[in-house]
Chain A
């Protein structure tokens, strides 16, 4: 029994890791007032980039870095259309998803189904990992897990306590007033979109080189979209994103736990999507003023307009 609990919790942490990375990225992006629906596509591109680079160079860390770079570069497209051209952010994000999924499918075609033999060693923190139960769950995990938690905590501190973070938040609340304070709203938004894209790509890298150690089209399986929903669930707060992401990681794992009970696997596969809708319903019962959504989310900002 003890082993089952530990392995379930461990898998929950693994399943929640990409969700946390992508959610943190989307939070930074949306805090600056830009809605990026391209997460799913950027995640796929990150997955394929990390996989190919790791396989050809033999270095997972080089894979991670290239995924990060690929995610940041492709996100510039969305930044350009939504910030510079003030285009419709919903459509631009969808286009980015199509492009990302398409590029990933094209580039990754020769690699479909090939197993990755290079292993990324788990990080085990001495002493702490000896704590019964939680030691193995929280302190002996893949580097991505620590990266996800670390980035979420750093992002929380960054958004709440640093000058630049506050500038990002005020850009999302009131770009005009922010601009009059001498802040370059365009630059802030570009930066936030690009950072967010990089985080989404890291989530993809986790899927391909750590979680499943292979690449196949459609492996992101809607995780990018779930991350966008988790952004709302986390009330645009990276600290809350941590437990939101692992709660959903648990739902992903619950599918496999419940399979022996004779429930249709297709029904179980629906769970994360149904849970996403239910959670959004629960959140909506909250007072909208306490939701904390960036006031100018998805509203194009035009310089010099009254």
Chain B
């Protein structure tokens, strides 16, 4: 008789966490392979193609880095919110609000101000937009006890419709010949890229800096400590005199603000004008949830997990073309990997004892 018993593991080393993640992702890939098999696609070929497409060529790698920019920014912000057990599912809307605010700023002042003034101004506006959209669910949760998962999601839909309303209505550009979308941003308000790529490096540097600073904030400051207590032990937090309202407001302003910065990067770095929500962001707000989770809610690690999942997005595009798979394939890959990551957490926190005995 083989008996399995589970006991809590109290000490979790970094190595063990890393190994658990690697095993979880590997197990996830096995299941994804089975799904590919059922869909009639050679899984080894498909998975090789995904990584070939994203990391195997210079072009692919540059695209991967480009898509990692919003994922790192949003993912880092989400780690802060998730640590406080504030389930911000609304990064998509916060990104769009950042895009709206920065587009307005760029169109309004881009012709009169020099680059070095307008670009910081656009980032500030984008942060503000994302932060404002992020603190609404914070207020709703603390003042009205409204579940943030629902409120952030509803705000995603609302923001997408606001954006669409703007680009088909008052903001519709004269240069679009009646098609929805604003005019192109003035030259001065466009982010420059690394030649031969779409990497808008200013946003990339900003993303890495934000991830690093946020790591210090979470582990080294009073605010970071308070945010963790709000999530892990709210009762203790109340006795310790932590102001829940203030802490939640700040952390959601930061989380939403970083998503807003990602929106600035997409508009000013990639598209150069505001178009439909689905083209401004290809679901970065949702993919970033997995990025944050894979990083074990450590903002610094979102740099790596962000690049990894950006690779899956780019590789996913590649297999859509080469294997004729639908766009939804990436969602299957993401969903499956996330399920295996949370399954892996169990084995990280519990020790499995196998004992052999005669029945």
User: Which of chain B's residues have a CB closer than 8 A to the CB of A86?
Assistant: 346
User: Which of chain A's residues have a CB closer than 8 A to the CB of B164?
Assistant: 266
Q: Does B89 contact A (CB under 8 A)?
A: yes
B15-23, B100-108, B326-334: which lies at the interface: B326-334
User: Which of chain A's residues have a CB closer than 8 A to the CB of B39?
Assistant: 106
Interface pair B342/A37, CB less than 8 Å apart: no
Q: Does A195 contact B (CB under 8 A)?
A: no
Interface pair B339/A277, CB less than 8 Å apart: no
From A91, A264, A277, A281, B289 is in contact (CB under 8 Å) with A91
Q: Does B117 contact A (CB under 8 A)?
A: no
* Residues 183 to 238 of chain A near chain B (Cβ within 8 Å): 217, 222, 225, 228-229, 232
B64-72, B138-146, B199-207: which lies at the interface: B138-146
From A87, A102, A280, B335 is in contact (CB under 8 Å) with A102
Of chain A, the residue at the smallest CB distance from B336 is A99
> CA A213 – CA B17 in complex, angstroms?
48
Q: Does B345 contact A (CB under 8 A)?
A: yes
Q: Does A276 contact B (CB under 8 A)?
A: yes
User: Which of chain A's residues have a CB closer than 8 A to the CB of B331?
Assistant: 98-99, 101-102, 105
Interface pair B286/A91, CB less than 8 Å apart: no
A124-132, A137-145, A267-275: which lies at the interface: A267-275
**Contact A284 to B145, CB < 8 A, known contacts A91-B293, A98-B335, A106-B325:** yes
Interface pair A96/B335, CB less than 8 Å apart: yes
Per-residue A-contact encoding for B345-356, CB less than 8 Å = 1, 0 else: 110000000000
Interface pair B334/A87, CB less than 8 Å apart: no
User: Which of chain A's residues have a CB closer than 8 A to the CB of B328?
Assistant: 101-106, 109, 217
* Residues 258 to 296 of chain A near chain B (Cβ within 8 Å): 264, 266-267, 269-270, 273-274, 276-277, 280-281, 284-285, 288
Interface pair B286/A85, CB less than 8 Å apart: no
Q: What is the distance, in angstroms, from A217's C-beta to the closest C-beta of chain B?
A: 7
User: Which of chain B's residues have a CB closer than 8 A to the CB of A95?
Assistant: 335, 338-339, 342
Q: What is the distance, in angstroms, from A26's C-beta to the closest C-beta of chain B?
A: 12
Per-residue B-contact encoding for A46-77, CB less than 8 Å = 1, 0 else: 00000000000000000000000000000001
User: Which of chain A's residues have a CB closer than 8 A to the CB of B335?
Assistant: 41, 95-102
In the A-B complex, the 4 residue pairs with the smallest Cβ-Cβ separation, listed nearest first, are A105-B328, A102-B331, A99-B335, A98-B335
Provide a sorted-by-A list of 22 A–B residue pairs whose CB atoms are within 8 angstroms.
A92-B342, A94-B338, A98-B331, A98-B338, A99-B339, A101-B335, A102-B333, A105-B329, A106-B325, A109-B328, A228-B150, A232-B147, A266-B164, A266-B165, A267-B165, A270-B158, A273-B154, A273-B158, A273-B161, A274-B154, A277-B140, A284-B144
